[in-house]
Chains A and B, each alone.
Chain A
Amino acid sequence: MSVATVISDWSAPNQERARTLLEAYPERRSAAMPLLYLASLEHGHLTPAAMAQVAELTGLTSAQVQSVASFYTMYKRDHVGRYLISVCTSISCFLMGADDVLEAIEEETGTPDGTTSSDGTFSVEHVECIGACGGAPAVQVNYELVEGVAPERGATLCRWLRESSPEVVVTDEMQKYFGGVRSFDWGITETVGAIAPVPAFGPYGSTGEESA
């Protein structure tokens, strides 16, 4: 079956991306993981129907696709809020008070760890080390990193997200207003952010223009 028939309900650019991905690998099944991100981007999260589509595209069975999707925590099989707040609770962040950060964020958003707020604005989760130990405690918003986030700053960050509901979240912007000590100065200015709680696709400029 042709790609277009399988994912005819996807947006045209995403259909095109899917085609490119499938061509990029000698074995179709190798495209499964990026396609799962693409499907998440398309539907907001990974629906069973989308997993079945990816199975069809890659020649795997739906059960195999589900197996991959459920192994990795960054594939979301349930609804995700507009802003996914990931609070690191691994060792460095834990020692620097991550539990309090998580609690402050849960309270501010009214969203307990592992759930999504009823209005669909926030999802809150705790995660393992996100590679920012030097700037602990660290938090991500739609996988965009903020370091040195004290509990009250975490709460402010969430309030800002709710009130100004930015289209795009950008690391440097959030770091400037809500971050604290950084692990090191990256030396470049990040102007590219995320528009959805899905990594790997949809890199947009802070103005909302596609940059890639």
Chain B
Amino acid sequence: MPEQPPPEMVTISLDGQEIEVPQGEYIIKAAEDQGTYIPRFCYHSRMKPVGLCRMCLVEVETPRGRILTTACNTPVAPEMIVDTESAVVQKAQEGILEFLLINHPLDCPVCDKGGECPLQDQTVAYGPGESRFVEEKRHFEKPIPLSDIVLMDRERCILCARCTRFSEEVSGDPLIEFVGRGNQTHVITFPDEPFASYFSGNTVQICPVGALTAKPYRFKARPWDLEAIESVSMVDASGASISIETSQNEVVRINGVDNDATNHGWLSDKDRFVFQAIHSENRLATPLIRDDAGDLQPASWGDALDRVADALGSVRGDEVASIGGANNTNEEAFALGKFLRTVVVTPHIDAQVGDALNPEFLAGVTPRAEIGDLDGAATILVWAGDLKEEFPTLFLRVRHAVTQMGAKLIVVHPRRTGLDNIAAEKITYRPGEGPEVVRKLTAQGDQDYGAVRDLLTAGPVIALVGLTGRAEDPRLAEAVAAYALGLPGSKVLPLARRANVFGALDMGLAPTLLPGRVPVKSESGRAELESHWGPLPGEAGLDTAGIIAGLAAGDLKALLLVGADPVRDGRNPDAVRAALDAAEFVVSLDMFLNDSNQQASVILPVDGFAETEGTVTNIEGRVQKVNRILPGPGQSRALWSILDELSSRMGGQLGAGDGPAIAKEIALVAPAYRSMTWDRLEWGPERDGVVMPDRDGVQELRFVPDDSGLRPTAGRLALHSGRVLYDGGTRNTQSPALAGLTPDPAVYLHPRDASALALADGQEVDVAGEFGTVRLRLELDPSLAEGSAYVPANLDSTWVLGVPDVVTVEAQSSKGKKNEKKKGKKKGAGE
């Protein structure tokens, strides 16, 4: 955490006891930290207090005598005397509860909140025991959908405004608000404007009654039947803490857990509902082997592993390559790396697919920021993908730093982003012209971007740096980081999206890295690892692009796909498919069939989210524990155990006994992880995660990026291939709650570009690039730089386009010819 000056302390008397509390703290928080719980409904520690519900009344001595006041929005003052339990306070609490219950139905037995309901609990603890209300309660039609996910039972609402404040203050999309007044007040959306927020599920979690419910959990379970375990969301690499809750061996709910270092308790709806995919009927549950006729047939583990061992053993080690592993735990990634380097003996290992950044940059950029540094930043520079789409919980932290902590925000992106409305400055540039922007920012006396440069003179500057889109040159991020590191008091937070990509790189799933952030080219580092593992390949291996080329050229013969879909993620989907077809042998270790492993020779079902125990590492290098609450479906197995058995079949020794054993080996051989143990993360103050390296850990890799060799690319319509949260990826499409939220595919052009091409809003157009053509609806988007075209990545049809640098956009007309040609080519490639 960033250093903050210790707060000034004052002494107050709380229920007759003298205590020291930070000046300015609200009574409710000060008391809670001392172990005195003051009941509350509207107060939420991550939002500003409003004093709406009056449940937190306490007595405070004032010069005018003792008064009842709300503890949630009264700050402590020196010598304050507070009474939380007096007869007057108790009377007030009883009164408030009696009032709240006047309009609250007594439907707890059929209410999802029953059993974990603050209103229920506090009525038992502080209520009067009976009501004097004999009149008719208010009734509403119930429930009404606020969105595709969230439902509202209005008569249960106690008007605490937690949900509405969340959506205004925290997520910044106030699509729900109170309407009416007095007895008729309720929370609702505007007609025909649903509560389509990426963060709507948080309101369900913080509603202190059962007014807001989420469809996936409604009537699914009772709280007292739930089993829960803490873990980490695997949606992006920000490391949001969650609790996974199951009933009868099925995950029914995920709630956010307040982790001060990462998500503050908030989740995106994708974090929250993506668990549905693990129970999809399309999950792979048995090993599959392709028979002579070319069909996949269920097989026993024995047969499948024999087949893989034979195939991998029949070629030279360095003719084998592996793509993927960024969605696995560190322990699994480590086992995979060790299997590849010591049993197969190949250096061609890459966890990154498609939108890869230099692994040395991601793992070793120095100084590297922590998420918490945002709160102390004077200026935040975001030059990366749209955080709202790619890192939703990190997006909330940036929002928090800007709207609550006063940081100034600069966003640099080819298009509008979710952060623009709170940005002090925004630079929109044409994809490919990023280097020009860097040059202008750096050049002394350049006329452009004066305001931006002024802001950047105020440190500390925290720079969030990643790829803005898939078509961008990955070296741009390094150039941006190099620039940012020259700014006052600056630190860089490198952004790559896949859940545990940072862990995978730290475990050596990169062509240039060994476990523990050791570069392959480091003689001493390699020697150290060889003392444990025996001789290792000394050369750096091929990255994913090189592997694809190698397969196509026949230099590589066999491929492992570990939870990866390089066809969908590839720059040139057809070429990737052709390369996979050219491979002699492809084994896929995955949870689902996808566009890449359909043609694999062997497919092995692996355990995934909620089914494996281990650790993961986020963008900061923070290691957190993920936990297992379920077995995988059918015969699926943990990745490390599959690799362990494969090793013995191949005459090797992986020594991956179980998760804890691997964790011990990581601590032994991975320098940056030297002090890491599961125990540290399970309980106590380090439960929020530990940033590596700490204490005894050492990091040899100190990557200081440079900006050499980067040239702007030009072309008429430069492609911006940005990611969207609800894309056509397997986890989304296999989660019913999310599947319907995928946006309609479209191509976006600046209105002037569209009119220059004589194209109209809403028209069907053909978008063509080097690798493919796709027919899309045209949407005008004045937020784009002129001369660019935005096509959301990985939607059901758009992925076919691949990632060309430039595209042409034409009215659909007699261009059938062109399509034909493409199709023909594809067929040829596929055979």
Contact = CB atoms under 8 A, between A and B. Distances in A.
Interface stretch (A63-71, A129-137, A159-167): A63-71
B196 to A, nearest CB: 12
A61 interface: yes
Interface string B163-207: 000001000011111111100000011111100000000000000
Contact of B179 (A48, A60, A61, A66): A66
Interface string B208-241: 0000000000000000000000000000000000
Contacts of A52: 190
A62 B176 CA distance: 9
Which interface residue of A51, A52, A61 has the most chain B CB atoms within 10 A? A61
Nearest to A51: B190
Interface string B492-511: 00000000000000000000
A126 B190 CA distance: 27
Contact of B174 (A48, A51, A63, A70): A63
Which interface residue of A60, A64, A65 has the most chain B CB atoms within 10 A? A64
B181 A66 contact: no
B181 A61 contact: no
A65 B190 CA distance: 9
B181 A63 contact: no
Contacts of B192: 48
A51 B177 CA distance: 14
Contact of A64 (B177, B180, B181, B191): B177
Contacts of B168: 64
B780 to A, nearest CB: 13
A52 B175 CA distance: 12
Contact of A62 (B178, B180, B193): B193
B380 to A, nearest CB: 22
Interface string A65-80: 1110011000000000
Contacts of B175: 61, 63
Nearest to B188: A63
Contacts of A66: 177, 179, 190
B189 A63 contact: yes
Interface string A31-53: 00000000000000000100110
Interface in A66-100: 66-67, 70-71
Sort chain A's interface into a size bin: 10 to 19
Given A61-B175, A63-B174, A64-B174, A70 B180 contact: yes
Which interface residue of A48, A52, A63, A71 has the most chain B CB atoms within 10 A? A63
Given A61-B173, A61-B174, A63-B176, A48 B190 contact: yes
A196 to B, nearest CB: 24
A182 to B, nearest CB: 32
Sort chain B's interface into a size bin: 10 to 19
Contacts of B178: 67, 71
B192 to A, nearest CB: 8
A52 B180 CA distance: 17
B180 A71 contact: yes
A60 B164 CA distance: 14
Contacts of B189: 63
Nearest to A55: B190
B180 A61 contact: no
Contacts of B181: 70-71
Contacts of B173: 61
A86 B279 CA distance: 60
Nearest to A1: B782
Contacts of A63: 174-177, 188-190, 193
A6 to B, nearest CB: 15
Contacts of A60: 174
A120 B261 CA distance: 61
B191 A67 contact: no
A65 B173 CA distance: 13
Nearest to B193: A62
A52 B193 CA distance: 10
Given A61-B173, A61-B174, A67 B179 contact: yes
Contacts of A71: 178-181
A159 B192 CA distance: 41
Nearest to B184: A70
Contacts of B188: 63
Contacts of A65: 190
Contacts of B179: 66-67, 70-71
Interface string B149-168: 00000000000000000001
Contacts of A64: 168, 174, 177
A174 B512 CA distance: 90
A48 B191 CA distance: 8
B536 to A, nearest CB: 58
Which interface residue of B178, B179, B190 has the most chain A CB atoms within 10 A? B190
Nearest to B173: A61
Given A67-B179, A70-B179, 10 more contacts: A51-B190, A61-B173, A61-B175, A61-B190, A61-B193, A62-B190, A63-B190, A66-B179, A70-B181, A71-B178
Interface of A: 48, 51-52, 60-67, 70-71
Interface of B: 168, 173-181, 188-193
6 contacts: A51-B190, A61-B173, A61-B177, A61-B193, A65-B190, A70-B180
